[in-house]
């Protein structure tokens, strides 16, 4: 949900601090995994909201160093086709840019869907009805399709 590695690390630490502090309030009505994920999603929403307030939400953060390290190690070991790896990195960057164009609610919903969460789990984590989850997924896919079609025609996402 957050593309900047240092921010992701900070948010992860904060999630576990909140989980630790909130253990006494965990009632067991939802699975622990769902409860933990909801805390993470809420924290990411807070972060993305603060970014939007600062007008940084449109700024794309790519994890290019990790991609280049991965590519360099594969090239050194002669285990990959360089052209294929470059294409893989480019596709990943385009998809990250496209996802960054979605609203935070749509991005969170798609991220949870990509984790193979059911609509019911996503609804419980995000605190919205299952029908809203379906609607968000539908509209997020439509927007992603438009963004990616735009890119295929030679324009930036």
Our count of domains for the chain comes to 1
Q: Which of 31-40, 91-100, 131-140 has the highest mean pLDDT?
A: 131-140
Report yes or no: 112 and 133 within 8 Å, Cβ to Cβ.
no
pTM score of the predicted model: 0.55
Per-residue confidence band for 65, with pLDDT thresholds at 50, 70 and 90: very low
**How many residues can be counted in the chain?**
157
For residue 6 the two structure tokens come to 């240092």
Per-residue confidence band for 34, with pLDDT thresholds at 50, 70 and 90: confident
* pLDDT confidence of residue 93: 78
Give the domain CATH number at 68. 1.10.10.10
Specify if 157 maps to a domain. Answer: no
Per-residue confidence band for 50, with pLDDT thresholds at 50, 70 and 90: low
How do residues 101-157 score in pLDDT, each as one tens digit?
Answer: 888 899 999 988 888 889 999 999 999 999 999 999 999 999 988 888 887 777 665
Specify if 29 maps to a domain. Answer: yes
Specify if 28 maps to a domain. Answer: yes
Average pLDDT value for the chain? 76
The whole-angstrom distance between residue 90's C-alpha and the CA centroid of its chain comes to 17
- 15-29, 37-51, 116-130: range with lowest mean pLDDT: 37-51
pLDDT greater than 50 at residue 60: no
Cα–Cα distances (Å) from 117 to 16, 45, 96, 105, 145, in that order, read 21, 18, 20, 15, 21
Distance separating alpha carbons of residues 113 and 119, to the nearest angstrom? 8
Specify if 127 maps to a domain. Answer: yes
* pLDDT confidence of residue 129: 95
Q: What range does the domain containing 37 cover?
A: 5-152
pLDDT greater than 60 at residue 68: no
Report yes or no: 14 and 71 within 8 Å, Cβ to Cβ.
no
Distance separating alpha carbons of residues 94 and 60, to the nearest angstrom? 10
């Amino acid at each position: 949900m957050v593309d900047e590695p240092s921010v992701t690390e900070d948010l992860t630490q904060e999630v576990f601090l909140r989980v630790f502090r909130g253990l006494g309030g965990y009632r067991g009505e939802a699975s622990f995994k769902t409860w933990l994920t909801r805390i993470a999603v809420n924290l990411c929403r807070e972060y993305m909201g603060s970014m939007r307030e600062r007008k940084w939400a449109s700024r794309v953060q790519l994890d290019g160093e990790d991609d280049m390290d991965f590519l360099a190690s594969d090239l050194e070991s002669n285990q990959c086709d360089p052209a294929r790896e470059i294409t893989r990195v480019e596709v990943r960057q385009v998809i990250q840019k496209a996802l960054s164009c979605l609203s935070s609610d749509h991005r969170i919903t798609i991220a949870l869907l990509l984790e193979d969460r059911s609509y019911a789990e996503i609804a419980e984590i995000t605190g919205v009805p299952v029908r809203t989850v379906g609607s968000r997924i539908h509209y997020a896919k439509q927007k992603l399709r438009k963004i990616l079609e735009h890119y295929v025609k030679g324009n930036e996402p």
